[in-house]
Chains A and B, each alone.
Chain A
């Protein structure tokens, strides 16, 4: 998989770092974008990831990492402004639109994404995906939530317990 081309070559001043996914794909990105991850930020500040070394990320596969980096590159300029206090309304609306489309993806990718965001400590991405999943499960019954999240079917004991709760919290099932 090719590295995202943004910022590649036309800005010699930007420091680039290399990230290596679990399946050994190398991604070269600006340090500013990678620094959205609290985990990577420390390594980068220590001077790691430059040149041919690369930072290995054994928990993140290449498909997920490319998605994560897509988010980081888009959000890096705003983050560099210190949480974008002077961003224009247009910029904010553009980011919002991007976020909405960004999480409009297959469920399995969503889970890999939130796990990666959690491991890499990318707060904004984790919050974005968590909100998306919360929106997916809100208004659903416990069984529907289980199916949505791919949980195995409940055991008879669990089912009996759920039924008991349904009696007690009938109003919550509407």
Chain B
């Protein structure tokens, strides 16, 4: 038994406790609970100040993930605490998920965007922006006054920062003033709004610039821009997926725009702090993370981009690089910590720019952005419950934040006070009208009695929803005659609507020194032949060079989320647009939701050797939408729930063309016409997971059925080969076979063949499967 060690003096205890890891608040809490004197020491303001000074930069206590809550049909922001030090036992007070979308976190505060609890009826094209500033440490929040402004079309973003003149921003107190800066791109103009917690009001800035042609729709359609970055006293916002950067000088109220390095074709670019506090960008291409920083040009005038380093992600991660569609996106950056968050197909990774080290920080990929949270958590709160605290701390009991020190009476106004206030109505009148009415990017919270209180317009909108039920097929056209419509136009004609015309207005991209991909507006219309309802989707811009290599599918929203069947008629619907851009070896999937009225952030996958060929008609099997690509050589699968893209090889089958079907038990299948000595048959194969004795579990294609066609098809010699499968009615199990002389249906279950059309040539059959009951006409 060792003799009891000498009692340590308080100064030494302080030296020891000072060296506890700052990114693990629990270790400080536990130390504070050792005994009264330790508690007194640790919760003293003096120690807390020393702790911050000793560790200099605020530790990353966690990050916020923006997630979609299926149950509530709303966005939630989840605080994920994390410790990057060796101490594995991470702890932070548990914090409930916040309703809303975390946009930014800086100086100890988190900026959340929420929907208005009671939506107001506004003039068309105006929307209520509701912001909440939340402090995860004290779990206190402040709601900002509602800002009424144009919908987020095409892009907007907001940032929060401390405006305390004497604050060191290491652990900003709640009573320090703060600013919220909103940057909104309306068509090709950028506008800035600033909220100051001291005045408690929003002011509009007259600082605005013209962007010229924008490409924002290509990747981020009607969603906020990327997270902001504070560097050199300027807020930076990445727009157009990081191809350009908006810079707002907070002190000068000055807006400018720069382009990012164009030398690499990367998926998106994120903003980072470069060495010395400057501006840098990172982008991922394949498995390489490129890091550029902004340096002065060779002549000392103007800025230039310099490639600083390349981090090989696959060298660091135990990721399955065998999956060709694995792709990474830059989703966040921890200011002051030089950590870049990269989202892969199987989780979130943090890459340290200084060391090049990569670490997996979260397993979930189903989220939108990462907002790192840096602050000090020092257990001042213990003072509230401890009865043996010193006199100084005792004055601060009562639950609220500590009062401001008395020595800062004449604190200057926060930066940004030089804004020129403009009355909102004047601003409105000066602006061009927005492109189109875009509802909030997520559905409002459940309303007690929606129909009773919603404005009439909303009631009408609720009825105009169309779905694509997976019900037994009744007939193809059992409806009152309708004028012909394009249900899913393969190629949209140049639309006459003003939105696309506006977006393409202005000088040509090359004149601006900006070399974007040439875009083509895609104008989609969802039409319900039963109710005659039409729903025109917001215009989606797509690469003109891949103008044929896309297809879209419409489906019930419940199916889009879970892949399951739905049987209600007037529910919300989703449209999935999938396109191939062979120049970037990229497949992108965009999802439109009728509830949000907007295209969500697309998901992309990279794959070498893609060719921009036609996408075949879609088939929903399992939880994925499938399209044939490259003339049936491969199958593109978009998993609705996981929002991932896979590419499968089609098996070598004795058929002329490959068409996708879904089997009765929901598996993906292939149908094709087999011609041969044994006559003309329709072959059906389905995909099964089998356990191979050597290779383990693997997907196999097994022949499911062979239906004799020859007897029927060859009755009339005009029905000449070749025969093609031209369509498939999901849920009904009916395959459409086209011949030179007409179109036949083949029921897979019974093998019955019926002639349905005399038309010799058709480009595609899109079966319409629904019940026609009077209910839907109400």
Contact = CB atoms under 8 A, between A and B. Distances in A.
A79 to B, nearest CB: 19
Interface residues of A, number: 38
A111 B5 contact: yes
A150 interface: yes
Contact of B5 (A118, A131, A150, A164): A150
Contacts, number: 101
Contacts of A166: 33
A154 B37 CA distance: 13
Nearest to B11: A118
A34 to B, nearest CB: 22
Contact of A168 (B88, B89, B385): B385
B2 A134 contact: no
A149 B5 contact: yes
Contacts of A138: 20-21, 24, 27, 87
Given A130-B16, A169-B29, A171-B26, A108 B21 contact: no
Interface stretch (B90-98, B247-255, B311-319): B90-98
A174 B26 contact: yes
A165 B382 CA distance: 9
Nearest to A166: B33
Contacts of B34: 142, 145-146, 149, 151
B33 A169 contact: yes
A7 to B, nearest CB: 30
Contacts of B8: 111, 114-115, 149
A162 B11 CA distance: 23
A140 B511 CA distance: 64
Given A137-B16, A173-B30, A115 B6 contact: yes
Contact of B35 (A114, A126, A137, A146): A146
A135 B86 CA distance: 10
Interface string B12-51: 1001111111001111011101111000000000000000
Contacts of B33: 142, 162, 165-166, 169
A111 B13 CA distance: 11
Contacts of B513: none
B633 to A, nearest CB: 53
Q: Which of A115, A139, A166, A168 is the most central at the interface, judged by chain B CB atoms within 10 Å of its CB?
A: A139
A174 B4 CA distance: 29
Nearest to A144: B30
A4 B269 CA distance: 60
A67 B345 CA distance: 54
A24 B230 CA distance: 61
A137 B11 contact: no
Interface residues of B, number: 36
Contacts of B35: 146, 151, 154, 158
A133 B16 contact: yes
Interface string A119-159: 00000001100110111011111100110011100100010
Interface string B381-409: 01001000000000000000000000000
Nearest to A133: B16
Nearest to B387: A161
A174 B363 CA distance: 21
B91 A134 contact: no
Nearest to A165: B33
A139 B90 CA distance: 9
B241 to A, nearest CB: 38
Given A111-B5, A138-B87, A172 B30 contact: yes
A107 interface: yes
Given A107-B2, A169-B29, A173-B30, A164 B12 contact: no
B777 interface: no
A134 B20 contact: yes
B3 interface: yes
Q: Is the interface of A mostly helix, strand, loop or mixed?
A: helix
Given A111-B5, A150-B4, A171-B91, A139 B27 contact: yes
A171 B93 contact: yes
A46 interface: no
Given A108-B2, A138-B24, A172 B29 contact: yes
Interface in A97-118: 106-108, 111-112, 114-115, 118
A141 B15 contact: no
Contacts of A151: 34-35
A54 to B, nearest CB: 25
Contacts of B91: 171-172, 174
Interface string B55-73: 0000000000000000000
Contacts of B26: 171-174
A146 B34 CA distance: 6
B9 interface: yes
A130 B29 contact: no
B32 to A, nearest CB: 8
Q: Which of A134, A151, A169 has the most CB of B within 10 A?
A: A169
Interface string A34-60: 000000000000000000000000000
Contact of A131 (B9, B11, B19, B36): B19
Contacts of B2: 106-108, 150
Contacts of A174: 26, 89, 91
Given A140-B30, A171-B94, A107 B5 contact: yes
Nearest to A137: B31
Nearest to B85: A138
Contacts of B25: 172
A106 B771 CA distance: 82
A106 B1 CA distance: 12
Contact of B31 (A130, A145, A164): A145
B460 to A, nearest CB: 49
A149 B5 CA distance: 7
A162 B36 CA distance: 10
Contacts of A168: 385
A149 B31 CA distance: 12
Contact of B385 (A131, A135, A141, A165): A165
B12 A145 contact: no
A173 B20 CA distance: 16
A134 B17 contact: yes
A146 B30 CA distance: 11
A173 B382 CA distance: 15
A44 to B, nearest CB: 24
A108 B4 CA distance: 8
A138 B17 CA distance: 9
B17 to A, nearest CB: 7
B87 A130 contact: no
Contacts of A142: 30-31, 33-34
A141 B6 contact: no
A7 B58 CA distance: 44
A114 B25 CA distance: 25
B242 to A, nearest CB: 37
Contacts of B93: 169, 171
Nearest to A127: B15
Interface string B140-173: 0000000000000000000000000000000000
Contacts of B18: 130, 134
Contact of B15 (A108, A130, A139, A165): A130
16 contacts: A107-B2, A107-B5, A108-B5, A111-B5, A114-B12, A114-B15, A115-B9, A115-B12, A127-B19, A133-B16, A134-B19, A134-B20, A138-B24, A141-B30, A149-B34, A166-B33
* Shortest beta-carbon contacts, A-B, top 9: A134-B19, A172-B26, A172-B29, A130-B15, A111-B5, A142-B33, A138-B27, A133-B16, A130-B16
Interface of A: 106-108, 111-112, 114-115, 118, 126-127, 130-131, 133-135, 137-142, 145-146, 149-151, 154, 158, 162, 164-166, 168-169, 171-174
Given A112-B6, A146-B35, A169-B382, 19 more contacts: A108-B2, A114-B12, A115-B6, A118-B11, A118-B12, A127-B15, A130-B16, A134-B19, A138-B27, A140-B30, A142-B34, A146-B34, A149-B8, A149-B34, A150-B5, A165-B382, A165-B385, A168-B385, A172-B25
